[in-house]
Amino acid sequence: MSGLAAFWATGRSSTLLWLAATLGAFALAEAASRRLGRHPLAHPVVLTCALLGAALRLTGTPYAVYFEAVKALHFLLGPATVALAIPLWRNLPHVRRALRPLGVALVAGSLTAIGSAVGVAWLLGAPAPVLASLAPRSATSPVALEVSRSLGGLPDLTVTLVLVTGAIGAMALSPLMRALRIDDPAAQGLSAGVAAHGFGTARAFQVHPLAGTYAGVGMGLNAALTALLLSLVALAGR
């Protein structure tokens, strides 16, 4: 038994345990999300975090220990971010076809996403690190995470805000567009991708294939533009 206890205390067992638990929780969450008809609130990541959060609390495992155990998964975010160039490149024909409306709407949306979030929180008295964590939250999370870090924000908080943003955007998309009488799938899709990254893109594909394509373009271009704009801000702030 003492051999087992010694094994349990090693970093390797912790890695094996929490990697397996994370993948298992994600698989469960995927199945649950599918059963719930892909409801935006039942997003697999939200469910996975709830399950694992409960498991960490119950076992008294500090977050730092968990993160150390699963940092291989976190590392893969880097190459995955680089790979975002591939769908963007595939969608180039769509971008070329609607270059001017896309460009104008993208810049307007991107500035609104950054400016209104920072503005509201600033009016309510939020301190600088909180504002920096909010600024990139409409971008897809690997990008938002990196930008938040370079702005002096709290990357973990940013990831949480990205997830909440995505869930709200995906849920609000159809009711909002109905209220505004905007039925053009391209306009709907682009706004979903710019405002609510991957969550919005997934929702847009349920609305119309063309909406999904524009959402993917919006997500990719907004990630690039947000990184560019906020990197300039970080540079100016130094």
Q: Which of residues 175-194 bind other proteins (CB under 8 A)?
A: 176-177, 180, 182, 184, 186-188, 190-192, 194
**Binders of other proteins among 34-53, rule CB under 8 A?**
43-45, 48-49, 52-53
Give the residue with the Cβ less far from other proteins, 6 or 85. Answer: 85
The answer to the question of residue 16 lying near other proteins (CB under 8 A) is no
C-alpha distances out from residue 15 to 107, 153, 165, Å? 43, 28, 30
Interaction residues for other proteins, span 199-228 (CB under 8 A): 208-210, 213, 216-218, 223-224, 227
CB atoms under 10 Å from CB of 204, counted, come to 30
Question: Which residues 80-139 are close enough to bind other proteins by CB under 8 A?
Answer: 80-94, 97-98, 100-102, 104-106, 108-109, 112-113, 116-118, 120-121, 124-127, 130, 134, 137-138
Residues 6+ apart with CB under 8 A from 211: 185, 186, 188, 189, 192, 204, 205
- Judged by beta carbon, residue 13 or residue 49, the one nearer other proteins is 49
Question: What are the helix and strand counts (H, E) for the chain?
Answer: 14, 0
Distance CA 211, CA 133 (A): 29
Size of the site for other proteins (CB under 8 A): 117
Q: How far apart are CA 217 and CA 183, in angstroms?
A: 19
